[in-house]
Amino acid sequence: MDYIQWKHENAISALLFGWTNPWHISNDVQSSRSSAVSFVQSHGYQWPAILDEEFPAAEPGGVHYERKIIE
């Protein structure tokens, strides 16, 4: 499950800070991905393709939220 955690942490970092972390776990990224796919499928779920997609290019400063009041 290291792969899924890494992807989630990178998504949060990309949104908040505009950068992502390189893979840092001892085994290689493909091995961890394969283990995660097997785990998900063994529980009757389909692997979500979004976990294999690259993040959009980072923008300096990350996400900026604006408060809007509607009616």
pTM (2 d.p.):
0.68
Q: Is residue 11 part of a domain?
A: yes
Q: Is residue 38 part of a domain?
A: yes
- pLDDT for 7-66, tens place per residue? 888 888 877 777 788 888 777 888 999 999 999 999 999 999 988 887 766 666 666 777
> Of 44, 46, 52, 56, whose CA–CA distance to 4 is shortest?
52
Domain with 6, as residue range(s), is: 2-16+25-52
Question: How far is C-alpha 9 from the geometric centre of its chain's CA atoms?
Answer: 6
Q: Residue written as tokens 């792969």?
A: 3
Q: Is residue 42 part of a domain?
A: yes
What is the tally of structural domains in the chain? 1
